[in-house]
Amino acid sequence: MAGRWKNDLGWDDVTPKAAWMNRRQIMAGGLAAAGLGAIGGTAHALEFQTTDFGEGLEPNSLEDITTYNNFYEFGTGKGDPAANAGAMEVEPWTVTVDGMVDNPGDYALDDLIGDMTLEERIYRFRCVEAWSMVVPWVGFELADLLNKIGVQEGAKYVSFETAVIPDVMPGVRRGVLDFPYREGLRLDEAMHPLTIMATGLYGEPLPNQNGAPMRLIVPWKYGFKSIKSIVRISLVEEQPDTSWNMLQAREYGFYSNVNPNVDHPRWSQASERRLGGGLFAGREPTLMFNGYEDEVASLYDGMDLAEFY
Amino acid sequence: MTPVQRINRGLSRVPAWPLYILSLVAPIWLLWQGQTGGLGPEPIKALEHELGELALKLLIVVLAITPLRNATGINLVKFRRAIGLIAFFYVALHLLVWLVLDVAILSQIWADILKRPYITVGMVGFLLLIPAAVTSNNRSIRKLGPKRWKRVHQWTYGAVILGAVHFIMVQKVWEAEPLIYLGIIMALLVTRLDLRVLRRAEA
């Protein structure tokens, strides 16, 4: 059920449609003129509801969002995913649903999520490497999907896996991480209305380098938690293994909530650089829970966030 | 005349000073690229990285000059001072970009130098290069005497190793490139050790 999430902004706070439509047309026009319209391929525009969520945030350009990516399956360079991910075939796409669910099985993607109502969510995106951007995602609440597959009593965590297709994934062939890439959430985090499965951005289907055909977005956590190109969703009782935590537990915790007060051992998390600002942009202070403190802080009541980083 | 002699004679006609002017091309080009979008959406990191890697490459060239002469007879010693000073110039720019464009917050800069091992390592490497840089002139050779002068310049061996270690430490996973740099550096330094041991054995 889309639109369950309500915030305390009223219609008075909303930019008039004519104004933002105009803004997007300008951006879209500019990108098309720069020959970047092809990033979306021949894909048709998605049908989605707009929301007032993220009003006041100025999204990064489609070029920034689609050319500066971490997707280690396709290489460790920021430009590698854009260069290599195009070779990944995302249709047909099968997602395995298993563990403590009422309706397990291997689903064709459309059978699994075809009936979800899409909406736009403009979110801040903060990488653990201390850069950030703002992305106009299109997707649906993960809670809707979890309700559809039927979470059984006793399940406490959701774990996810990314596709492993060595033929088109040079990073997998080189073994830069222990693939498949794995991520997980506590069930209450997964059910939170801010947590979405994204299938598009800027109103079009996700480009492959951004995690097509379906990825997780958890806006109050560092970006690596928002796992891409998902092929498996499991409901489990124990806290699942997660890829970066497996590689270097001291640097990447299971929670990995954006927190300016808990530094990465090798760099400060107190500030960040917004992409696209040029050479002289400077840093901005990082916000607690990436600016979503009012919405999510209660999930961690009583927890020492320096211990559960 | 052997081919090596011919190469050396050709090199003797090439002056070293144009290298100083050429060295300005890379930073100016990078700054211009950064300003016009050629370095991508995160130009500061890219600029920082490019300058650091360029400096490391040049320091490797400096280290390779003696082994190259010993192995082949090709003599580039004439260009070593210029290449070394340009490498130092790039390291200084790399540091300057970090100070002014990247972090830019004084309290955080000091905290980073002390708290972040990869920055501490890089900073120590930079400090080790300074004495060699300021004594890269004929007057200093006369003043210090060749023996002491040489010792000061051998500190750069440590600096180059620290530079490569600094590069390895910045990575999130084990990347091949910085490890290859460290391997080349160690190999070039080992040739020096071996030669000295051999010479002593011969004497």
The 10s digit of each residue's pLDDT in B133-173 is: 999 999 999 999 999 999 999 999 999 999 999 999 999 88
Q: What pLDDT score does A97 carry?
A: 98
Q: Is residue A81 part of a domain?
A: yes
From chain A, pick out residues whose CB is under 8 angstroms from the CB of B117.
Answer: 266
Query: Would you say residue A257 lies in a domain?
Result: yes
B47 contact residues in A (CB cutoff 8 A) = 279
3-state secondary structure of A141: strand
What local confidence, expressed as pLDDT, does residue A32 receive? 46
The residue of chain B nearest to residue A270, with distances taken between CA atoms, is B108
Residues from chain A that touch B105, judged by Cβ atoms under 8 A, are 271, 283
Q: Which two tokens stand for residue B72?
A: 């082949």
- Taking contacts as CB-CB distances below 8 angstroms, the residues of chain A near B116 are 266-267
Separation CA B23–CA A103 (nearest Å): 65
Q: Give a yes or no: residue A309 inside a domain.
A: no
Please report the pLDDT score of residue B199 as a whole number. 67
Residue B74, classified by CB atoms within 10 Å of its CB into exposed (0-12), middle (13-18) or buried (19+), is middle
Q: Which of A266, A274, A275 to mutate to test the interface with B (most CBs of B within 10 A)?
A: A266
Structure tokens at A252: 């990447």
- Domain count of chain A? 1
Smallest CA-to-CA distance from B166 within B80, B69, B48, B64 is with B48
> At A196, phi and psi to the nearest 5?
-125, 160
* Inter-residue contact A96 to A28 (CB < 8 Å): no
In whole angstroms, give the CA distance from residue A80 to residue B173.
15
- Would you state the pLDDT for residue A142? 98
Mean pLDDT of B10-25: 94
Long-range contacts of B68-75 (CB under 8 A, 24+ apart): B70/B191, B70/B195, B72/B4, B73/B4, B73/B8, B74/B4, B74/B7, B74/B8, B74/B11, B75/B8, B75/B11
Full residue range of the structural domain in which residue A279 is found: 11-300
Round to whole Å and give the CA distance between B127 and B161.
13
Predicted confidence band of residue B112 (pLDDT cuts 50, 70, 90): confident
Q: Tell me the pLDDT band of B193, cut-offs 50, 70 and 90.
A: confident
Q: Is residue A22 part of a domain?
A: yes
Please determine, for residue B57, whether its predicted confidence score (pLDDT) is greater than 80.
yes
Q: What is the pLDDT of residues B88-111, one digit of tens each?
A: 999 999 999 999 999 888 888 888
A63 touches A34 (CB < 8 A): yes
One-letter amino acid for residue B108 of the chain: Q
**Does the residue A149 lie in any domain?**
yes
**CATH number (domain holding residue A21):** 3.90.420.10
Name beta bridge partners: A112: none
Residue A2: inside a domain, yes or no? Answer: no
Q: Does A273 touch chain B (CB under 8 A)?
A: yes
Of B42, B115, B175, the CB nearest to A275: B42
For position A42, what pLDDT does the model report?
Answer: 46
DSSP bridge pairs for A125: A133
Question: What are the CA-CA distances from residue A24 to residues A44, A60, A62, A72, A202 (Å)?
Answer: 17, 11, 11, 31, 9
Q: Chain B closest CA to A282's CA: distance in Å?
A: 7
Contact criterion met (CB < 8 Å) for B42 and A68: yes
Q: Which residue has 């991910």 as its token pair?
A: A85
CB contact under 8 A, B40 and A279: no
Which chain A residue has its CA at the smallest distance from B173's CA? A176
Does residue A63 belong to the interface with chain B, where contact is any CB pair within 8 Å?
yes
Q: What average pLDDT score do residues B10-37 get?
A: 94
State how far the Cα of A114 lies from the Cα of A130, in Å rounded to an integer: 35
B116, A266: Cβ pair inside 8 Å? yes
| Residue A5 located in a structural domain | no
Q: What averages of pLDDT result for each successive group of 10 residues across chain A (309 residues)? A: 58 52 50 42 73 86 96 95 97 97 98 96 96 97 98 97 97 94 98 98 96 98 98 98 94 96 91 92 93 96 93
H helical segments located in chain A? 17-33, 62-67, 80-84, 109-113, 142-149, 170-174, 187-191, 243-247, 293-296
Quote the minimal CA–CA distance from B112 to chain A in Å: 7
Domain annotation covers residue A247? yes
